[in-house]
Structure 1
């Protein structure tokens, strides 16, 4: 078993996700108390996929996050750098065009996608700014980005309780349901070290995205950031 360090070396992170691929979706459902299903519904609404649109779903893991876009009639490309996740996804949804790719060096041409989205994956990328520029590159003019990522609760008393859960309650729960509980210690630490909502919005703007905005979900446990590529 491997636990990635907070410098987020790509081979460490990929190997860690390979280890947890089989039970990843179930574990997330348990650890989030079922909230992850609501968060993914909000992502689908924000992306607003339409028939014949091309959607890039980064950090797609097993492809679960891609299914709503496909159901809307869009052509979705689930992309992940964990081969273990992609192999698990192929078992479950063999018809999806699951693609291996690094968010900092995307294997796609310029201006291909109507929308690019990443849920709970940007935090694991070593070079966040490079990834945001790459997403901008592969999006067509007028296209959009939607990022769903763990963030920081805005109400101080709730933030204290939440951080206590992350560092004290999450690891023992993970030991009960995950094949690699150490991966969830990394999860807790990476959430705490992640930029807050305004700082991530500023990163999006520096990468070229316009009309950047965010919306807090579950009191700021998760934030949904959006932006548009100028026409």
Structure 2
């Protein structure tokens, strides 16, 4: 396996422990899932968790909408194996698939809501990724994209450099024996869209009423949940 899924295959050992040490990580994912704002605890709804990793975002989606059926997809087989070994209700299903080739893996819409956490930044073509997410949604259904999105302000970028090189990259190297995945995280967040740029990208993909909701704590300027809906045809 090459590319970003390969980085997660080889550098994902210890991933759960590392993200658990990140203050607010799980709370922010659960908040992102709640921001989908779906009724009835998700009863009768089919949701997609795209880029589920070891299942943290899937757990957040299930906690926020416990009555929903959830299809959770990831391109890293080793991350997905870790997710599958956890305890899940029968309403949660895991699929190994590249996000760009979901139909070939049997993943078809329309979905009543989609959570894509820490995914879009890792896709080779984010515009294509957003169009795919748009097309997988039922008309009127919501999308939550949760990811690092750094402002262009110098202080925020210096903060990101400091956090990566004093905490994230050294801790990742100690936990996994390799810093490749965590250096990728550092670089990819610097290259990725600022919040206004990502909102514009969502509009170009046809998503209606896009808005950004910042997280709390030290990540409040670095991590956001971006919300949009597929318009009614």
With normalisation by structure 2, the TM-score equals: 0.85
Which whole-Å CA distance do the structure 1 matches of 2:155 and 2:197 have between them? Answer: 22
Q: Residues 13-162 of structure 1 correspond to what in structure 2 (within 5 A)? A: 13-30=4-21, 32=22, 34-49=23-38, 50-71=42-63, 72-93=66-87, 95=90, 96-107=92-103, 108-110=107-109, 112-153=110-151, 156-162=154-160
Which whole-Å CA distance do the structure 2 matches of 1:89 and 1:124 have between them? Answer: 19
Task: Point out 4+ residue stretches in structure 1 off by more than 6 angstroms.
Answer: none
Q: Number of residues paired by the alignment?
A: 219
How big is the shift at 1:90?
A: 1.4
Name the structure 1 match of 2:168: 170
How big is the shift at 1:113?
A: 0.3
Cα separation, partners in 2 of 1:187 and 1:179, compared to 1, 3 Å: same
Residue 121 of structure 2 aligns to a residue whose secondary structure is helix
Which whole-Å CA distance do the structure 2 matches of 1:69 and 1:162 have between them? Answer: 27
Which whole-Å CA distance do the structure 1 matches of 2:173 and 2:8 have between them? Answer: 16
How big is the shift at 1:156?
A: 4.8
How big is the shift at 1:158?
A: 4.7
Which whole-Å CA distance do the structure 1 matches of 2:80 and 2:131 have between them? Answer: 24
Residue 177 of structure 1 aligns to a residue whose secondary structure is helix
Gaps of 5+ in 2: none
**Contact 2:199 2:212 (8 Å CA) reproduced:** yes
Which whole-Å CA distance do the structure 1 matches of 2:17 and 2:151 have between them? Answer: 24
Which whole-Å CA distance do the structure 2 matches of 1:131 and 1:76 have between them? Answer: 20
Which whole-Å CA distance do the structure 2 matches of 1:76 and 1:56 have between them? Answer: 6
**Contact 1:27 1:178 (8 Å CA) reproduced:** no
Gaps of 5+ in 1: 1-9
**Contact 1:213 1:227 (8 Å CA) reproduced:** yes
Task: Report the RMSD for the aligned CA atoms in angstroms.
Answer: 2.0
Residue 9 of structure 2 aligns to a residue whose secondary structure is helix
